[in-house]
Amino acid sequence: MEHASLQKVEQLALKKQKIFRVSKSSYILRSMLASMFIGFGVIVAFKTGSFFYNEHSPLTYPMAALTFGAAIILISYGGGDLFTGNTFYYTYTALRKKMSWGSALKLWITSYGGNVLGAAAFALLIWSTGLFKDAAVNGFLLSVVEKKLHAPMLELFFRGVLCNWLVCLAFFIPMSLKGDGPKLFAMMLFVFCFFISGYEHSIANLCTFAIALVLNHPGTISLEGMIHNLIPVTLGNFIGGSILMGVMYNYVNKPFDEVDE
């Protein structure tokens, strides 16, 4: 059963809460790190995908999806604090009455704010490198961003729900595995699934949009379009992590908790 992994979820949530209480600045910096780690994944994915995109290859998305997995490895082993994973951790821990809902809300808001700051900082770093100035390199990224900014809001919401369900599983399932090899493979596989499926991840989108905005982009890519995407996607991510993971796992494990008692 997943009981041992759920105990790790509680411990991780309480550890994050302790960091927040001891030093809010440290918590914000860890949140910034998480979105910057995702930024690395975005860069390598779109850089790789651009080689295939320019040749109109059907391997464009599969290759981008395969390389984006670097982001989750960096977050898991590099110590970043990601809003989307926190929707699961804090919901489950609050339902178990180990954390107050007020604390969970503060932590969600702070981690999301830190993720926003990290995305903006990383975009400026990428702009400073000049690596994405060439249209042959940024064409794939800008084409994907344009599609994301003009998709219907209801579709974006449900893509966000399914995305964070998978992303939370990508963090949760490896908790029950032994050895770094199986853990890394599981993480990469789940991230590949969400990317290739076309689901929407709010923090990955933040990083991608921020990079697109600092490049020489067409008028169809705008701050208003970003907001049009991020509101439903963030809400969908929250539902996917809190309801389909936090509430669901709390409910289905209650009978086993009663037996243990």
Record the pTM: 0.93
The total of other beta-carbon atoms located within 10 Å of residue 208's CB is 25
CA proximity to 249, closest of 165, 161, 178: 165
Tokens 């780690």 belong to which residue?
37
Phi and psi angles of residue 164, each rounded to the nearest 5 degrees, phi first: -75, -25
- What are 87-114's pLDDT values in tens digits? 999 999 999 999 999 999 999 999 999 9
- pLDDT tens, position by position, 159-196: 999 999 999 999 999 998 988 899 999 999 999 999 99
**What is the band of 261 on the pLDDT scale with cuts at 50, 70, 90?**
very low
Angstrom distance (rounded) from CA 85 to CA 72: 11
pLDDT bin (cut points 50, 70, 90) of residue 134 is confident
Cα separation values, 11 from 8, 101, 117, Å: 5, 16, 27
Please check whether residue 53 is in contact with residue 208, taking contact to mean a CB–CB distance below 8 angstroms. Answer: no
- C-alpha closest to that of 33 among 95, 99, 78, 66: 78
Instruction: Show the domains of the chain with their CATH numbers.
Output: 3-252 (1.20.1080.10)
